[in-house]
Amino acid sequence: MSAELETIIGLEVHAQMNTKTKMFCSCDNDAFGKAPNTTVCPVCMGHPGTLPAPNGEAVKKAVIAALALKGTVNAQNHFDRKHYFYPDLPCGFQISQYDFPLASGGTVSFVVRDDSGQVVNEERCGITRLHMENDAGKLTHRGSKTLCDYNRAGTPLMEIVTEPDLRSPEEAVAFAQELRRILIAVGASDADMFKGMMRFDASISLREKGAKDLNPRSEIKNLNSFKALEKALKYEEKRLRKEWEKNGGPLPRDITVGWMDEEEKTKMLREKETADDYRYFPEPDIPPLTFTKEDIENIRKELPALPQERKKQYMDLGLDEALAVQLIDQPELRRIFDAVYKKTNDAKRSSGLVLTQLLGFLKAEEKEISDAPGVEAMVELAGKIGSGTISANAGKDVLEKMVQTGKTASQIIEEEGMQQISDDSAIETLVLKAMDSNPQAIESFKKGKEAALGAIVGWVMKESKGQANPAKVNEILRKQLEN
């Protein structure tokens, strides 16, 4: 019988920082979609005689991220050269941080869910370190030719290394998703997976349950999506278990593998390189970075609410967990909700309008959140409902038309003549007419049947094609009955 094995996973996450310019030069950092080799300069192309100058905005964003991950920013840290040769690396080395990283330690709490979205358990993953470095360019292989695009070369990256605290592929993905939320929430990275702004290297090994020591690991390189992360880890976990059965133990030494997206399997690349292979040495062209306690505390003061805190705030307003998560995961939706809530001061109503109706109409029209009426348009609609210009029911129709046509609430209300009738004398006329037409209802009411009034209100609503303000109708009817 084979021993019971447990899976040990740790991640290295590369996240692109959303700065204006690159890490060590003033080239545009937003190269996505631009023609190859157009956002480059002698510095990021590694021309001899050029000098790198660290980007203050990038350093600040990295500090913010480190603080959000509950890490300690190291008062003294510096850049190092990490040498390797590859055509996408114009300098022949990467400027990174080796033995004195920007920040050490930290922890991330996260929630693991099953396929139906139910919370299975809550976990924590330790953070070993966070350091800054610059990205390499991009190679495109076409047949026997390889094309180099250096637009991405020099892009500021944060590398976040975790402790080997993750125990399953599902946990690794849940952690990575929470990390992404945090980086977005603090504005350090846009972490757009589609644009490759967040990439993972995942290390996985097995050991007998109860054992303390770690065994040699398999490192899966360059996973670009949560799906790839999960599939690759599941594949490698299974493969390592089979190997263990066959050899009666763990891998003899660390290995590096690649994930083949199409074939859905890992492929051996090489035995893992060690630090010696990179011939690290301190970057001589950049002075060490120093931070005072005050520097750090000033940045800490700017830290916005983290996703878990935000989730709690939404749940405290009365939203359920799933809706709260929807809001923290979709910044555009959150901006709309927050603005509508600010206007209405009513979480239930805001959630009905934004999370039920708006999302429902978008789905029906096969549209995205980015196609939704803007924050201002939604606030205007909420205002029209709040002020009684239209009823909540009519508001639903107006919103549907807003989504379909892109018109504003006032335009639609005007064009369709949907204003709610709140004018006292107009409603009084309708109420008197209703009372005349429903003498039995009045009789029943006088005999003590409260519910009989419903018939009269209903008659007024029908007569006014739903445009009478129901609260006003009730109020005026009561007054008439008291006379």
CB of 25 to Zn ion, least distance (A): 3
8 A C-beta contact, residue 194 and residue 226: no
289 binds, among Zn ion, Mn ion, none (CB under 5 to 8 A by kind): none
Residue 25 touching Zn ion (CB under 5 A): yes
Facing residues of 95 across strands? Answer: 81
* Interstrand relation of 119-134 and 255-260 (parallel, antiparallel or unpaired): unpaired
Work out what residue 44 binds among Mn ion, Zn ion, none; the CB cut-off runs from 5 to 8 Å by kind.
Answer: Zn ion
140 CA to centre of own chain: 29
237 touches Mn ion by CB under 5 A: no
Is residue 42 within 8 A of residue 9, CB to CB? The reply is no
How far is the C-alpha of 86 from the C-alpha of 107, rounded, in Å? 34
Which C-beta is closer to Zn ion: that of 41 or that of 211?
41
Output the six-digit token pair for 477.
Answer: 């009817």
Q: Is 201 in the site for Mn ion (CB under 5 A)?
A: no
The Cα 71–Cα 155 span in angstroms is: 23
41 lines the binding site for Zn ion (CB under 5 A): yes
Q: What is the 3-state secondary structure (H, E, C) of 456-472?
A: HHHHHHHHCCCCECHHH
Only one of the segments 66-74, 155-163, 305-313, 436-444 lies at the binding site for Mn ion (rule: CB under 5 A); that segment is: 155-163
Interaction partner, residue 398 (Mn ion, Zn ion, none; CB < 5-8 Å by kind): none
Of the pair 15, 299, the CB lying nearest Mn ion is at: 15
Torsion angle of the four alpha carbons 52, 57, 60, 61, in this order, in degrees rounded to the nearest 10: -110
159 binds, among Zn ion, Mn ion, none (CB under 5 to 8 A by kind): Mn ion
Q: Which stretch binds Mn ion (CB under 5 A): 156-164, 221-229, 250-258, 458-466?
A: 156-164
Measure the CA–CA gap between 63 and 97, rounded to whole angstroms. 14
| Cα(314)–Cα(302) distance, integer angstroms | 21
Least separation, in Å, of the C-beta of 81 and Mn ion? 13
Which range touches Mn ion (CB under 5 A), out of 47-55, 69-77, 159-167, 296-304?
A: 159-167
Output the DSSP codes for 272-294: PP-GGGGT-EE-TTSPPEE--HH
State in angstroms the smallest separation of the CB of 404 from Mn ion: 47
> Which of 13, 27, 204, 385 is the binder for Zn ion (CB under 5 A)?
27
Q: Which is nearer to Mn ion, 159 or 165 (CB)?
A: 159
C-alpha span between 228 and 196 (Å, rounded): 13
CA distances from 196 to 29, 131, 223, 360 (A): 14, 19, 10, 30
For residue 232, what are its two tokens?
Answer: 């690759």
Closest approach of Cβ 133 to Mn ion, in Å?
5
Half-sphere exposure of 1 (CA within 13 A, CB side): 2
- What's the closest the beta carbon of residue 159 comes to Mn ion, in angstroms? 4
- Helices 293-301, 56-68: inter-axial angle, 10-degree rounding: 70
Is there binding between residue 135 and Mn ion (CB under 5 A)?
A: no
Which option in Mn ion, Zn ion, none does residue 41 bind, with CB closer than 5 to 8 A by kind? Zn ion
Binding-site string for Mn ion from residue 392 to residue 411, where x marks contact by CB under 5 A and - marks none: --------------------
Interacting stretch for Mn ion, rule CB under 5 A, among 115-123, 151-159, 373-381, 459-467? 151-159
Answer yes or no whether residue 159 interacts with Mn ion by CB under 5 A.
yes
| C-alpha–C-alpha distance, residues 394 and 63, integer Å | 49
Residue found under tokens 């893992």: 272
Which residue among 13, 31, 44, 476 contacts Zn ion (CB under 5 A)?
44
What single DSSP character describes residue 166? B
- Closest separation in Å from C-beta 198 to Zn ion: 22
Binding piece for Zn ion, criterion CB under 5 A, among 37-45, 186-194, 205-213, 459-467: 37-45
Binding of Zn ion by 430 (CB under 5 A): no
What residues contact 42, with CB distance under 8 A and at least 6 apart?
A: 50
Instruction: Single out the segment in contact with Zn ion by CB under 5 A; choices: 25-33, 317-325, 404-412, 415-423.
Output: 25-33
- Which residue shows structure tokens 């002020």? 387
Give the range of 18-26, 120-128, 207-215, 395-403 binding Zn ion by CB under 5 A: 18-26
Q: Residues in the site for Zn ion, rule: CB under 5 A?
A: 25, 27, 41, 43-44
Binding site for Mn ion (CB under 5 A): 159
